[in-house]
Structure 1
């Protein structure tokens, strides 16, 4: 795969039968200063500690970069054009911890879907999921799609009780990501900042060498697609009652006509596709569809995000649950 001027060739990897295994990496914390709704997020150490965590976790999609070299080895440039990564996040990672990515190669040469997982140096699971290239037709459901199919209708929502499956976000969302664009309070760093510390550098991402990519211009890394689509999410109006601290519990990013490009303007459409609850959280599952601005209305990418809010972070949770007859 010598045409990939970066991650796939620079990243050492090995086989641990039957797995394709990447090197240990130390992902960097970029969200310590993140704020939303007028308060710090779970990525702030003091906020995390107040919720029983030992430190502010690194954002889940940061780990997606560690899979890029492995999946490029398997699928070539199709990974950057029609790749899909779908992950359920299992254990939070804090800065300084080492993480390794694993891919289960397909059973046959024509296979388009694989199992993936990541773990810490001591074997603690970080995420589990699937990845594929090409059209979804003919493929089994991806990790998040399987989990959505198993959900039971929620019966005790408090924070998210005003939300409905099928509810659509506000229209008119439009976003672009240049190298030096600040992406708002949700993401207090630029693409240029990220490229200085990304776990798997690639020349195709950079202003200096992006024109040498197969598409003739710089592409947005898979993990930064999450930032692109998340930076304007508050405009959609698909969040629950506030204040409450949230986290990503699962995420799927699918390129349909990729890659997504640095500096290109995109329009977004969002819809709630599921609501769920657990003992500690309430979740909103939102599908975001991505279109080229002023282009034909054929999506070029989409993301499914399981955004969970922690019940303990909502000050009026017990009071309102009691008023609703839920405890």
Structure 2
């Protein structure tokens, strides 16, 4: 099958199109969270901590990969995708600084508004798999489908023992400027991110060279804006923990979101789950203009806490079970 090669006019990204699949170039994303701390300790984005969990080095934060899909989605759906588009990803494998990864997106069939996406390392190992969509009338996304299939939460939880589904955080005002450092969770600024982002674009620049006349927040930095206050959520699990993003969805409803503008976010626990190694808290974050009711954007995020690194996890679990007998 013949293959076309083009350069995205908005991102400058080389895109290959074989008629069925769009793909971008191999990129080497940067880890900007090596100095991240929460609860007074290092995170999985620190080499030493990551190695205690069996990773060879620090993991690059999952939403960093979202930037490689944006030019592909824009190629399919144009500027409308920046206002009404979404990315939904189930992270499969950690990516480490220095590794090269490539983004793939299926072309929609007639009438489709949701397509498969996936990312592979240069050696073919799969980093993530999910969906990209435009508009509101779509089948369940990759993350929505996974969440719908969860079993009821284990009543015997250690890290999340005091966290309940439906817990919510009232609206709080947030803002992302070029030089704002977003706390201990995100020890870098948007300006610093734009020097390393895999797909730079004038859309993100201060000269307003886009249809909205003002700079938009990159998809991966929407994650920063919506999650940077997580450590002060009223339902934070027992500490200390080492956490990792496992599933994540960002969807624009009436976007995009803009640099240096005030927004309000509301956060809600929508699911609890677990695995042999982790306990997971799923949070939905809705974005509003101040004092307005219409949702501008949403994020679904599954953050998993590792049991192995919680002090005396098994002993605490046994105590909780005994107390309930």
Task: Please give the range of the TM-score, normalised by the shorter of the 2 chains.
Answer: over 0.9
In 2, are the aligned partners of 1:48 and 1:55 still within 8 Å (CA)?
yes
Question: Aligned runs of 1:239-254 on 2, under 5 Å?
Answer: 239-254=236-251
Question: Aligned runs of 1:168-317 on 2, under 5 Å?
Answer: 168-169=168-169, 171-207=170-206, 209=207, 211-294=208-291, 296-317=292-313
Which of 19, 27, 30 in structure 1 is aligned with 2:29? 27
In 2, are the aligned partners of 1:266 and 1:292 still within 8 Å (CA)?
yes
In 1, are the aligned partners of 2:179 and 2:191 still within 8 Å (CA)?
yes
- Structure 2: distance between partners of 1:153 and 1:162: 16
**1:6 match:** 10
- Quote how far apart the aligned CAs of 1:297 are: 1.1
**1:119 match:** 120
- Quote how far apart the aligned CAs of 1:17 are: 5.8
The yes-or-no answer on 1:38 pairing with 2:40 is yes
- Quote how far apart the aligned CAs of 1:15 are: 2.6
- Quote how far apart the aligned CAs of 1:213 are: 1.0
- Quote how far apart the aligned CAs of 1:212 are: 1.6
**1:55 match:** 57
The superposition leaves residues 135-166 of structure 1 with CA deviations (integer Å, 9 ceiling, x where unpaired) of: 1x3x2100011001110012242111111111
- Quote how far apart the aligned CAs of 1:49 are: 1.1
- Quote how far apart the aligned CAs of 1:111 are: 2.3
The superposition leaves residues 92-130 of structure 1 with CA deviations (integer Å, 9 ceiling, x where unpaired) of: 00000000000011111x421111000100000000000
User: Quick check: 20-29 or 148-157, which moved more?
Assistant: 148-157
User: Quick check: 230-239 or 240-249, which moved more?
Assistant: 230-239
- Structure 1: distance between partners of 2:158 and 2:77: 44
- Structure 1: distance between partners of 2:105 and 2:210: 25
- Structure 2: distance between partners of 1:16 and 1:306: 34
- Quote how far apart the aligned CAs of 1:18 are: 2.6
- Structure 1: distance between partners of 2:272 and 2:123: 34
In 2, are the aligned partners of 1:246 and 1:308 still within 8 Å (CA)?
yes
The superposition leaves residues 235-262 of structure 1 with CA deviations (integer Å, 9 ceiling, x where unpaired) of: 3223211000000001000101100000
Question: Aligned runs of 1:62-77 on 2, under 5 Å?
Answer: 62-77=64-79
Which TM-score applies when normalising by structure 2? 0.94
User: Quick check: 279-288 or 148-157, which moved more?
Assistant: 148-157
**1:318 match:** 314
Q: How many residues align?
A: 315
Question: Aligned runs of 1:154-173 on 2, under 5 Å?
Answer: 154-155=153-154, 156-169=156-169, 171-173=170-172
Q: Unaligned stretches of 5+ in structure 2?
A: 1-5
Q: Provide the aligned C-alpha RMSD in A.
A: 1.4
- Structure 2: distance between partners of 1:236 and 1:92: 26
- Quote how far apart the aligned CAs of 1:6 are: 3.1
- Structure 2: distance between partners of 1:282 and 1:176: 30
- Structure 2: distance between partners of 1:65 and 1:167: 31
Kindly tell me: are residues 34 and 283 of structure 1, through their superposed partners in 2, closer, same or farther at Cα, counting changes over 3 Å?
A: same
- Structure 2: distance between partners of 1:273 and 1:254: 16
Moved over 6 A (4+): none
- Structure 2: distance between partners of 1:172 and 1:302: 14
The superposition leaves residues 207-241 of structure 1 with CA deviations (integer Å, 9 ceiling, x where unpaired) of: 2x3x1210010000001000111111223223211
In 1, are the aligned partners of 2:22 and 2:105 still within 8 Å (CA)?
yes
- Quote how far apart the aligned CAs of 1:172 are: 4.3
User: Quick check: 113-122 or 14-23, which moved more?
Assistant: 14-23
Which TM-score applies when normalising by structure 1? 0.93
